[in-house]
Amino acid sequence: MSGKFAVLVALAMVATGCTPASDTPVAPPVVPSASVVTSIDLGTSFPQQAFVDQCEDWDEWDKPAPPFELLGDTWYVGTCGISAILIIGDKEHILIDSGVKAAVPLILQNIRALGIDPRDIGTLLISHEHFDHVGGHAAMVQATGARVIASAEAAKVLASGTVSPDDPQAAIHPAMRPVKVDRIVADGEVLRIDDKEITAHLTPGHTPGAMSWTWPACSLPWQPPVCRRVAYVDSLSPVSGDDYRFSDHPALVAAFRTSIAKVAKLPCDILATPHPSASQMLDRMRAGTLLGGTTCADYARSIGQRLDARLKDEGA
């Protein structure tokens, strides 16, 4: 059996402690009515609470973390300190970010724990072009065979392995293993990958090639039917090397403010960020839900305040 139902059946078997027989066909799960909750519930086997128990705010980038469901076909498969987001498709899947190189085996382990073969990941996207988020891209491509899609500015960094001189953190970020970029994506472009549609948003500021992504996530067939809008929003934090002054780069500040305004208006029922703690993910999970709590508008407002404070400090 192939395609999305094969993945979902495999996930169900992981959730119930079963393993599929390689030569035995398995019927696809029955889609329940809105009032029915089946006995198959991935949340009981991959609970968000396990992540809360194992991880801390601003945790280590290569600290192992259990995977958990954001909603239905969208999963967190990253480490305690760095996000990686898996979107389950019909015949192929999408992964956003690969973390530091040391995190790649941990992310692959999480993907396999869900019953998914990493070689079924066909597309690898990025948030921004720093080694803590894409340093593992070359190794991830080697493990999956996925094509890499990035913004034009980020593509230059991925291809060379060297951070752009226009990056506020150029002086403090190490080189990375280069990786070939297969496709350049434009602002507002909708990627139609298998049965998924994911929209690209250029959000430069933290880096010149930074991107954010939005898509609808829907519950799995055996769960009560629901869809929500997910936003994976770039870090956007106004941090830099010691000698860098944002006020000396008015074009970058203008782009930064445009990105902040754009993020505030994104479709955003569930917010995730490259550093989980940047959007208070653990706090929201402790409160019992990733819906609400910190919205894209809240996140944009906090980043705008940080940028204003940084510029004020530079002026002083």
How sure is the predictor about 44, in pLDDT bands with cuts at 50, 70 and 90?
low
DSSP type of residue 189 = P
Give me the half-sphere count of Cα atoms (radius 13 Å) on the Cβ side of residue 135. 18
How sure is the predictor about 224, in pLDDT bands with cuts at 50, 70 and 90?
confident
Whole-angstrom distance, CA of residue 279 vs CA of residue 275: 8
- Residue 254's closest CA among 315, 204, 301? 204
Question: pTM of this prediction?
Answer: 0.87
| CB under 8 A, 24+ apart: contacts of 305-314 | 306/237, 306/238, 307/205, 307/238, 307/246, 307/253, 307/256, 307/257, 307/260, 310/238, 310/246, 311/246, 311/247, 311/253, 314/245, 314/246, 314/247
Domain boundaries, the chain: 4-19+40-315
DSSP type of residue 71 = E
How sure is the predictor about 292, in pLDDT bands with cuts at 50, 70 and 90?
confident
Q: Which class does domain 4-19+40-315 fall in?
A: alpha beta
What is the tens place of the pLDDT at every residue in 83-115? 999 999 989 999 999 999 999 999 999 999 999
Top-confidence residue, 24 or 198: 198
Q: Residue 44: enclosing H or E segment and its boundaries? A: helix 42-45
Q: How far is CA 254 from the centre of its chain?
A: 26
- Whether the per-residue pLDDT at 137 is higher than 60: the answer is yes
Q: Work out the mean pLDDT of the chain and round it to a whole number.
A: 87
What is the tens place of the pLDDT at every residue in 15-37? 333 333 333 232 233 332 222 22
Q: What is the mean pLDDT of residues 183-195?
A: 97
Say if CB 80 and CB 67 are below 8 A apart: no
